[in-house]
Amino acid sequence: MKVYTLINDAGHGGSDPGAIGFGQREKDWALEASQYVNKRLNELGILSSQTRTKDVSLNSTERTNIVKASKAEVCLSHHYNAYMGKGEGVETIYSIYSDDGLATKIAYAIRDVGQKFRRVFNREGKSGDYYYMHRLTGSVKTIIIEYGFIDNTTDYGKMKHKDYRTKMYEAVVKVMCDYFKVAYKVVQVPKSTKGKIYKVQVGVFSEVNNAERLAAELKSKGYATYIVEE
């Protein structure tokens, strides 16, 4: 069985908050995005990892060394944008040495859940790619995802809701499943019980030893178990 590998990069972190708007720091939502996509991809069978799993500082060398050491085929670098309140919508950025195929699919997928499409682009610098996440990550196909503008009233009005951000992340997950040709399965969301609770009873015993024996067996199989005396 072939193993597919991907690494998620949560932009900024630690002493670097990234973009700031309406009291929100980019580094926090970037980590949220990385953690969500990483968890879902692993659940779906795509071996995935992260450059950071908590709020820590990573300089450009440390961050890109982690990406290169992962030997991943793809790196998704998660970000939120800012432009003095004037920018709006999703952007994805790809290397000048790559094509725009995957970046375009990701941007369109995020657009399709409600975000305005801004652009898909690359940028050349003096010695290759302008962005170090493209320039210093070696052979890894790196896509920078700018989900939206954290300082824009329209974008923030949608993105401040976690369920909306989750829809954007889930759209990325679906694209990556298609890219790696892995079956995609939707997230199973439990239906509301409107405050009700439900009990599952396994057995009733007149001898406490028998009850304790069954409880121990269930616990060994990972079930939360307790004994009620009546």
204 with 129, same domain: the answer is no
Q: What's residue 3's pLDDT?
A: 44
18 with 27: CB under 8 angstroms?
yes
DSSP category for residue 73: S
220 with 124, same domain: the answer is no
50 with 116, same domain: the answer is yes
Is residue 185 a part of any domain in this protein? no
173 with 184: CB under 8 angstroms?
yes
DSSP category for residue 16: B
173: closest CA among 185, 155, 190? Answer: 185
Is residue 87 a part of any domain in this protein? yes
Return mean pLDDT, the chain: 90
% of the chain exceeding 70 in pLDDT: 83
How many CB atoms are closer than 10 A to CB 100? 16
What's the domain range around 43? Answer: 5-180
Residue type, 227: I
Q: What's residue 1's pLDDT?
A: 39
Reported confidence tier of residue 209, pLDDT bands at 50, 70, 90: confident
108 with 37, same domain: the answer is yes
Tokens of 131: 């962005």
214 with 118, same domain: the answer is no
Domain count, the chain: 2
Question: Quick one: average pLDDT of 151-161?
Answer: 98
Helix segments in the chain, DSSP class H: 26-43, 60-70, 101-112, 132-135, 153-159, 162-180, 208-220
Q: Name the residue with higher pLDDT: 199 or 173.
A: 173
- The whole-angstrom separation of Cα 50 and Cα 36 is 11
126 with 203, same domain: the answer is no
43 with 141, same domain: the answer is yes
Reported confidence tier of residue 180, pLDDT bands at 50, 70, 90: very high
154 with 47, same domain: the answer is yes
Give 108: exposed, middle or buried? Use CB within 10 Å, 0-12, 13-18, 19+. Answer: middle
Is residue 186 a part of any domain in this protein? no
How many CB atoms are closer than 10 A to CB 98? 15
165 with 133, same domain: the answer is yes
155 with 52, same domain: the answer is yes
- The whole-angstrom separation of Cα 10 and Cα 68 is 15
Is residue 45 a part of any domain in this protein? yes
215 with 199: CB under 8 angstroms?
no
86 with 28, same domain: the answer is yes
What is the pTM (predicted TM-score) of this model?
Answer: 0.81
Q: pLDDT tens digits for 83-112?
A: 999 999 999 999 999 999 999 999 999 999
155 with 212, same domain: the answer is no
Is residue 129 a part of any domain in this protein? yes
Q: pLDDT tens digits for 183-204?
A: 999 886 555 555 665 566 666 6
Q: Write the CA distances from 53 to 27, 31, 35, 178, 194, integer angstroms.
A: 12, 7, 7, 25, 34
* pLDDT(18) > 70: yes
Tokens of 110: 């995020």
CATH of the domain at 145: 3.40.630.40
